[in-house]
Chains A and B, each alone.
Chain A
Amino acid sequence: MSTGTTKLDVVVSDVVPVNDLVTRFHFRRRDGELLPTFSGGAHVVVEMREGERTRLNPYSLMGSPLDTREYTISVRRDDVGRGGSLFMHRSVKTGMEMVVSYPVNLFSLDLRAKKHLMLAGGIGITPFMAQTAQLAAEGGNFELHYTCRTASLGTYADVLRERYDRRVRLYHDDLDERIELDRLLSTQPLGTHLYVCGPAGMINWVRDRAASLGWPAETVHFEHFAAPQPGLPFDVTLAVSGKTIRVDEQQSLLEAIEAAGVDPPYLCRGGVCGQCETNVISCDGKFIHNDHWLSEEEHRSGKKIMPCVSRFEGRSLVLER
């Protein structure tokens, strides 16, 4: 059960291939009304129904928050993932009816900031599409540094350069262009907030350098949706509901719990929001923690797990569900 979010009945109003890996999807309400307002950085959880199976994946809204006639998301094709992005790329066509959650923002701008410094890596550009549109409309002060593998895979780099000119700086991996991070972080005016979205390695690098260079934690914002990773199947006992379930190779623990008719709260399904945090009653084996929510200490304790992205390998696991 998604916490506090109702579902939106939408229709796919457009499907636009952006480059070799990324396709953009537009959604409108089936009843023709406006969609709920959202702020830059918000995401929706898209329900992907394929036969018996329902996948729920979070995607950042990338349209302007000023236009709620439609929601747009951009999906990067992941050929070795669990199939959510492949389903979107192969099966979703214009005119198809789908269901998405209300928008939730776990990566919002701090509008007290004097300046917003944004660092994007790859498909991590999507929340910044909405945030820059929001700030530009308010005359906000921002600067975007965007790293992509090659110019042809620099999703929306051309659009951003055209809209914001020199407020956008591009770095191409294939040309060996790198952000001079320490210099960049050391020359920002007091009152700047930092936002980073991209691969986990990039987020960790930026957070680590920012902390060392004296950026208070309150000024550093990041978002990384961990896609649930496939893994070995395992059995779980749900103590509260008295059920024993099997988590398949391609299924997340949360999905397996839901398939058994138990509805834990969730919001992001990407290891970020903390809603589905679950207590471990007992275990014999090792956890594979993939979330960004629990502290390292909690990971080591073996007393908590985020079932949306984390797995287990071993003989027995009993959860308080």
Chain B
Amino acid sequence: MAAKSIISRPVYGTLSPQPGKHHLFIADAEGALAIAEMAGRAPPGFFGDAEIVFIPGPHGKHTAALEALKSAQLHQAPSFASLLPRLRQTLANAHMGLRLYLAGTEGLIGQAMQVALEAGIDHTSIQTEHRGSLARRMQCVHCKGITENVTTQPATCAHCGLLLLVRDHYSRRIAAFQGVCINAEDRSEIPPMEEIFR
């Protein structure tokens, strides 16, 4: 569970079935379990109007839990990048009454929400549940490069090589936490690097 800090740091809830005509779920890895648990609280027939898009991740588990829900559609993708065109297409053709549910890692929730915002969905109307890794997508505020799966504090920018303090300051627009140079005054000062975003 993500800890609460400054107001910009996203907080996640527990998926709950919403009134609506179509239900779009996007999940990765253990996010599948959040959907399966929500199914126990959903009215009968709920998944008949549901589409699930699932990224199983490196361990390839939990697909069976989703298959058991008998949703109208279940689509698997190897990565977020690979499902992006399909997601954009779905949202571009969708009508009001579509409800969005995001479950899994912070990176997945943030990137899917970014696409949803572009499609005109208000972030407060999206159901989210965090499961699995707390690894962060980080934007270097200096070179603007995005580094995926950051687990350490501080972290090295994969683009410009600066040593960055990973802040809780989050941008929904670019779906990333902000990384700020931790030793700008004296580059020879290297604080110890700890693995804290597991």
Nearest B residue to A113 via CB reads B120
- Check A112 for interface membership: any CB of B closer than 8 A: yes
For A212, the chain B residues whose CB sits under 8 A away are 19
- Check A243 for interface membership: any CB of B closer than 8 A: no
- Check A218 for interface membership: any CB of B closer than 8 A: yes
CB < 8 Å: which of B18, B19, B94, B124 contacts A190? B94
Verify B97–A185 contact, CB threshold 8 A: yes
- Check A66 for interface membership: any CB of B closer than 8 A: no
Say how far A111's CB is from chain B's closest CB, in angstroms.
11
- Check B96 for interface membership: any CB of A closer than 8 A: yes
B contact residues vs A (CB 8 Å cutoff) = 18-22, 91-92, 94-99, 119-122, 124-125
Verify B122–A187 contact, CB threshold 8 A: no
Say how far A25's CB is from chain B's closest CB, in angstroms.
37
CA distance A185 to B96 in the complex (A): 7
- Check A229 for interface membership: any CB of B closer than 8 A: no
Nearest B residue to A187 via CB reads B95
Nearest A residue to B23 via CB reads A214
CB < 8 Å: which of A113, A187, A214 contacts B18? A214
For B99, the chain A residues whose CB sits under 8 A away are 214, 216
Say how far A72's CB is from chain B's closest CB, in angstroms.
32
Verify B124–A189 contact, CB threshold 8 A: no
CA distance A313 to B43 in the complex (A): 44
For the complex of A and B, list the 4 residue pairs with the smallest distance between their C-beta atoms, beginning with the closest: A191-B120, A214-B20, A216-B125, A214-B97
Residue contacts A-B, CB under 8 angstroms, 29 given = A112-B120, A185-B97, A186-B95, A186-B96, A186-B97, A188-B95, A189-B94, A190-B95, A190-B96, A190-B121, A191-B121, A192-B96, A211-B19, A212-B19, A213-B96, A214-B18, A214-B19, A214-B20, A214-B21, A214-B22, A214-B96, A214-B97, A214-B99, A216-B99, A216-B122, A216-B125, A217-B125, A218-B122, A219-B122
CA distance A114 to B117 in the complex (A): 11
CA distance A186 to B96 in the complex (A): 6
CA distance A158 to B97 in the complex (A): 33
CB < 8 Å: which of B22, B91, B96, B121 contacts A188? B96
| A interface residues, tally (CB under 8 Å) | 20
Please encode chain A, from 192 to 220, with 1 for each CB lying within 8 Å of some chain B CB and 0 for all others.
10000000000000000001111111110
Say how far A190's CB is from chain B's closest CB, in angstroms.
4
CB < 8 Å: which of B94, B97, B120 contacts A213? B97
Say how far A64's CB is from chain B's closest CB, in angstroms.
26
CB < 8 Å: which of B21, B94, B124 contacts A218? B124
CA distance A189 to B91 in the complex (A): 9
Say how far A4's CB is from chain B's closest CB, in angstroms.
24
For B91, the chain A residues whose CB sits under 8 A away are 190
CA distance A38 to B94 in the complex (A): 34
Verify B120–A190 contact, CB threshold 8 A: yes
Contact of A219 with B19 at beta-carbon distance under 8 Å, contacts A113-B120, A186-B95 already known = no
Contact of A189 with B96 at beta-carbon distance under 8 Å, contacts A214-B18, A214-B19, A214-B20 already known = yes
CA distance A89 to B96 in the complex (A): 42
Contact of A215 with B120 at beta-carbon distance under 8 Å, contacts A186-B21, A190-B91 already known = no
For B122, the chain A residues whose CB sits under 8 A away are 112, 216, 218-219
CA distance A188 to B98 in the complex (A): 11
Nearest B residue to A192 via CB reads B96
For B95, the chain A residues whose CB sits under 8 A away are 186-190
Verify A219–B119 contact, CB threshold 8 A: no
CA distance A188 to B97 in the complex (A): 9
For B97, the chain A residues whose CB sits under 8 A away are 185-186, 213-215
CB < 8 Å: which of A189, A192, A213, A218 contacts B125? A218
Say how far A209's CB is from chain B's closest CB, in angstroms.
11
Nearest A residue to B21 via CB reads A214
Say how far B98's CB is from chain A's closest CB, in angstroms.
6
Say how far B101's CB is from chain A's closest CB, in angstroms.
12
CA distance A89 to B120 in the complex (A): 43
For B98, the chain A residues whose CB sits under 8 A away are 190, 214
